[in-house]
Structure 1
Amino acid sequence: MSTSNPLETVRTERELTVRAEDLPLHCPLPGEPVDLLHPRVFLDPTAEGEAVCPYCSRRFHFEGPLPKHH
């Protein structure tokens, strides 16, 4: 039996860089076990250059050109 916190092992990166191809952006990210984390929330890092998840405080920095629809 493991005594470690699953959140610590799943979410090791507190700050991530995202690009236009990563949009639409949501946290938790694809591949992370949603049932261990928090409800999915969509974020817009293009408005101010970054977005912070209101549940886990993970910070997403937007890098590169904006998508054409913005």
Structure 2
Amino acid sequence: MAQQENTHSEIEVSATDLPLHCPMPQHLAWNSHPRVFLPIEKTGEALCPYCGTHYRLKAGEVVKGH
């Protein structure tokens, strides 16, 4: 996946992106703040406490637990 700026206020992610953390490896500023893991599995949404990026699971994504 090509690197991209982490300037979006909302990012859709898929189940293959889990466990979700911000910033994500494909962001150019991947070291812009400490990596934080975001619990998105139960609600389908998560907000990064550092940069305010809102993550949302893509419609129809199925999250499988252990």
TM-score under structure 2 length normalisation:
0.74
Q: Is the 8 A contact 1:15 1:60 kept in 2?
A: yes
The CA RMSD over aligned residues, in Å, is 2.0
Structure having the higher Rg: 1
Equivalent in the alignment of 1:66: 62
C-alpha separation in 1, matches of 2:25 and 2:50 = 16
Letter in 1 for 2:46: A
TM-score under structure 1 length normalisation:
0.71
Q: Percent identity?
A: 46
Aligned length: 61
- In the TM superposition, residue 59 of structure 1 has moved relative to its aligned partner by 0.3
Secondary structure of 2:62's aligned partner: coil
C-alpha separation in 1, matches of 2:63 and 2:40 = 12
